Amino acid sequence: MADDIITVEHLRYTYQDAQVAALDDVSLRVPRGTWVSVIGHNGSGKSTLAKNILGLLEPDAGVINVDGMVLSEETVWDIRSRVGIVFQNPENQFVGATVADDVAFGLENHAVPREEMLTRVDDALNAVRMREFANREPAHLSGGQKQRVAIAGVVAQQPQIIILDEATSMLDPAGRKEILALIRELKDRLGLTVLSITHDLDEAAGSDQLIVLDDGHVVETGKPSQIFAHGTSLVAHGLDVPYSQQLRGELGKLGIEIPGDYYDDEGLVDYLWTLRSTM
Amino acid sequence: MNKMILGRYIPGDSFIHRLDPRTKLLATFYYIAVIFLANNWQSYLLATVVTLAIIPVSKVSLRFFLNGLLPVLFLIVFTVLIQVFFTTGGHVYWHWGWLSVTSLGLTNAGFIFVRLVLIIFMSTLLTLTTPSLSLADAVESLLKPLAKIHFPVTEVALMLSIALRFVPTLLDQTTKTMNAQRARGVDFGSGGLFKQVKTIVPLFIPLFVTAFTMADELATAMEARGYRDGYGRTRFRVLRYGRGDLLAAVVLILLTLGLIFLRN
Amino acid sequence: MDITFDHVSYTYQANTPMAGVGLDDVSVTIHGGAYTAIIGHTGSGKSTLLQHLNALLKPTSGTVRIGERMITPSTSNKNLHPLRKKVGMVFQFAESQLFAATVREDVAFGPRNFGVSAEDADALAVQMVARVGLPEDVLDRSPFDLSGGQMRRVAIAGVLAMQPEVLVLDEPTAGLDPAGRREMMALFAKLHADGQTIVLVTHQMDDVADFADDVLVMDQGKVVRQGHPKEIFQDAQWLLDHQLGLPRTTQFALRLQQKGFKFDHLPLTTPELAQMLAEQLGGARHE
């Protein structure tokens, strides 16, 4: 328990003029070095959660702890320097007039000396393979490229945690795949903790832990295999069933019952092949 | 609209492109002032020769400079005609009421024509070779002394650079919204005034809504990345004068001396 | 009503150094009554093609025939009204076109522009809001008070209210969550079942497999293939080479094939694959 990099306890948040709380008694833990996904339909409160963790919204009640610091007015800037976030809309988070300017924006805010800034911007652009675009203007970049620049901005900041707030939901499938592969690579190389907020089950399937949010409540927490094992509840929460589970369901209708809790795609392929070989 | 605001900058790596934007900005203002020293054909010839010699250094085709004249063509023609018909002095070629064409009028008109064209060429040179962002940097740097009297120079500069950065985004959104409303039967730019005004609502309300969302999300993103106004920031983008800037200054001084020497 | 492209090319910013090819010698027919999907990666010319369907763009060369109407490079921008009414266009993130004070007014806006009386336009608004699955009480609310998914439905109702013969949908499910996406696709399927011609631009190959009966594949401004999804997705390797995805089922079947399963053709939908597997594994369940 000592090594939970984020803990949220009994968090409640209500938007101005709203009758019901967007988040109600939400508690969760993110162990250091893991990939945790918060999944839920649009309006389930998942983005509100991310904004609370960064102190961008002020909770009605509850305690948030990030990297050993309790979130408060005094610690919020320290916390923001340790947490990088990539938002949903590639266009509306691009502050700089050029790629390099945008990557440098966070560093300027944290008063990093210029000499150090130059190397950190360059390294970060290299890490996301956007170095040759350093002087490009955002108007000449695709959505996927803009998201890579946003990631470079996070990397340059050298944070402990990266939060993806539906960072891939506005990209085409190719762009989505690319961004996820990049985050995975950076997580391993830089020893980051990833908190991903998403409604894409393919994205969530690779995480260490899933937290299902519905109407501002945590309704389920567990490993993907545990949660995917009873897929029907995911549909009830406005989500999808993983493909392998859908296929199992269809096979079941035809009388082929597959025992066990959950198989991912690869597991199911193996199982089916074994089944065929033993015939 | 696109062409007026954005299409001006022509990327390149010429001597003029590489000059410090502050130099280019100050030089353009200085040039506009100093050209008023010219008052006879010799001095105008010198100014013309120098200007026409500078233009090719930018490696931008002369066509773009001539295009730069188009938006102000009416103004030039109007000014020249006023000079032709209303200046009196010297030999009178034609006369009707208080309109007359005189030798002095024609000479003055010629001088004014050359002066206007040269001024437009030089300011076009500035905008063709300097991205708007660099111009914003130059303005910020030149205004820096104002910070002493608590004018928020850096905040204004950041605002300006963000505004410039979002111009293409908003233009893009304008095109999209116009297309969407066209598809719903709106005719932009046709019909009487009343009909025209009515088409503004379905265009501008969606644009305002989008712009507000954009501003809101951008502000959140900036805050998340540690931006707090009035708090000490370091700067990534800095301007440095180089050897070329010195050379540019020398050329301007020589031009000034030449004009003083040649003028009446 | 068919829409036929005959050797259509379109160049962006023609006659400037920045000229770029949008469409390159496209000859293709979109059939009335069909559910046509247009696929291709970003920048392949899909949206340029789309904007020719209701003459928002005119070809640089070639002709587009929309029903009885011919659009050529020299067609005047006037009198395009009847066309815009026949081909309804739902753009990406269509909710950003809403502007009126109430949902009712916004949905009635299109018909009003086409000369429908206020009364009839209002009746259409009521009918279409119901058709897109929104409750009646949203009619007199501001569209800006609704959720993102509901706003998208209002925008679609606004296009349906024009009673177009062809409904063009540009990535209509982008940004929606899985439930929202399912409901949206079910809505279009129902419209198609009621006789609506549909043109869908999408990156979601599952939707193509599940709903379309004709597919256009675009690459570098050309229509490189056209056919039924069953034919198009058989050539899985070709699609992958062109950076296009496959339906989940087809992907899964490919993995099974690599393992050693044999299929006489690649399946597109989950029930189809389950059926094929059941035939091969039939004996297993009697153990």
Catalytic residue among C95, C105, C165, C171: C171
Q: Are C100 and C143 in contact (CB under 8 A)?
A: yes
Residue A250 within a domain: no
pLDDT band for C17, please (50, 70, 90 cuts): low
Amino acid sitting at position B249: A
Residue A246 within a domain: no
- Cα B216 to Cα A146: distance, rounded to the nearest angstrom: 18
Subunits next to A (3 or more Cβ pairs <8 Å) are B, C
Q: In this predicted structure, what is the pLDDT of residue A139?
A: 87
CA distances from C128 to A44, C123, C154, C180, C185 (A): 28, 9, 9, 18, 16
Q: Over pLDDT 70: what percentage of chain C?
A: 96
Q: In this predicted structure, what is the pLDDT of residue B5?
A: 41
What the block records as the tokens of B194 is: 């009343």
CA-wise closest residue to B185 among C158, A278, A81, A279: C158
Q: Which residues of B touch C88 (CB under 8 A)?
A: 183
Q: In this predicted structure, what is the pLDDT of residue C15?
A: 62
User: Which pTM does this prediction carry?
Assistant: 0.86
For the segment B184-202, the average pLDDT, to the nearest whole number, is: 84
Residue B100 within a domain: yes
Pairing of strands A4-13, A23-31: antiparallel
What the block records as the tokens of A200 is: 């894409």
Torsion of CA A111, A117, A123, A126, to 10 degrees: 100
Taking CB atoms and an 8 Å cut-off, how many pairs form between chains B and C?
Answer: 58
Least confident of B94-108, B116-130, C196-210: B94-108
Residue A63: give the domain boundaries.
4-241
Residue B114 within a domain: yes
Q: In this predicted structure, what is the pLDDT of residue C76?
A: 86
Q: Which position has the token pair 């050298």? A: A158
Q: In this predicted structure, what is the pLDDT of residue C16?
A: 60
CA-wise closest residue to B252 among B58, B51, B111: B51
Number of H helices, E strands in chain B: 11, 2
pLDDT band for B6, please (50, 70, 90 cuts): very low
Residue A154 within a domain: yes
Q: B32: Cβ–Cβ under 8 A, 6 or more apart, which residues? A: B119, B122, B123
Residue B147 within a domain: no
Q: In this predicted model, which residue has the larger pLDDT, C283 or C192?
A: C192
Residue B29 within a domain: yes
The tens place of each residue's pLDDT in chain A, 279 residues long, gives 458 999 999 999 999 888 899 999 999 999 999 999 999 998 899 999 999 999 999 999 999 999 999 999 999 999 999 999 999 999 999 999 899 999 999 999 999 999 999 999 999 999 999 999 998 889 889 999 999 999 999 999 999 999 999 999 888 888 899 999 999 999 999 999 999 999 888 889 889 999 999 999 999 999 998 898 876 788 888 888 889 989 999 999 998 888 888 888 889 999 999 988 887
- Cα A170 to Cα C152: distance, rounded to the nearest angstrom: 15
Residue A133 within a domain: yes
Nearest 5°: the CA angle C144, C150, C154 is 80
Are A278 and C280 inside 8 Å of each other by CB? Answer: no
pLDDT at residue B1 above 60? no
Q: What is the ipTM of this complex?
A: 0.91
Same domain assignment for residues B44 and B112: yes
Q: In this predicted structure, what is the pLDDT of residue B29?
A: 94
State how many domains chain A has: 1
What the block records as the tokens of B245 is: 């800037």
Q: What's phi and psi for A153, nearest 5 deg?
A: -60, -40
Q: Which residues of A touch B138 (CB under 8 A)?
A: none
Q: What is the mean pLDDT of chain B?
A: 88
Q: Are C170 and C119 in contact (CB under 8 A)?
A: no
Q: What's phi and psi for A38, nearest 5 deg?
A: -105, 115
Residue B81 within a domain: yes
Q: In this predicted structure, what is the pLDDT of residue B44?
A: 94
Phi-psi region at C19: left, alpha or beta (left = phi > 0; alpha = psi -120 to 50): beta
Same domain assignment for residues B248 and B122: yes
Q: Over pLDDT 70: what percentage of chain B?
A: 97
10 Å CB burial of residue C127 (0-12, 13-18, 19+) is: middle
pLDDT at residue B99 above 90? no
Q: Which residues of A touch C142 (CB under 8 A)?
A: none
Q: In this predicted structure, what is the pLDDT of residue B183?
A: 94
> Long-range contact list for B205-212, CB < 8 A, 24+ apart?
B205/C99, B206/B177, B206/B180, B206/C96, B206/C97, B206/C98, B206/C99, B207/B170, B207/B173, B207/B174, B207/B177, B209/C96, B209/C98, B209/C99, B209/C144, B210/B173, B210/B177, B210/C96, B211/B170, B211/B173
Residue B66: give the domain boundaries.
2-130+241-262
Q: Outline where A75-231 has alpha helix (H).
A: 76-82, 99-109, 114-127, 143-156, 173-190, 201-205, 224-229
Same domain assignment for residues B210 and B99: no
Q: In this predicted structure, what is the pLDDT of residue B2?
A: 42
Residue B138 within a domain: no
Residue B229 within a domain: no
Q: What is the DSSP letter of A240?
A: P
C231 is catalytic: no
Q: Are A53 and A6 in contact (CB under 8 A)?
A: yes
Residue A248 within a domain: no
Q: In this predicted structure, what is the pLDDT of residue B216?
A: 94
Which of C18, C99, C146 to mutate to probe the B interface, most B CBs <10 Å? C99
What are the tens digits of pLDDT across the range C173-182?
A: 998 999 999 9
Residue A258 within a domain: no
Residue B23 within a domain: yes
Same domain assignment for residues B108 and B212: no
CA distances from A40 to A179, A217, A266, A279, C287 (A): 21, 10, 25, 41, 41
What are the tens digits of pLDDT across the range C245-286?
A: 899 999 999 999 999 899 999 999 999 999 999 988 875 444
Whether B52 contacts chain C with CB within 8 A: no
State how many domains chain B has: 2
Domain of residue A116, CATH code? 3.40.50.300
Q: In this predicted structure, what is the pLDDT of residue B170?
A: 92
Q: Are B181 and B174 in contact (CB under 8 A)?
A: no
Domain ranges of chain C: 247-282
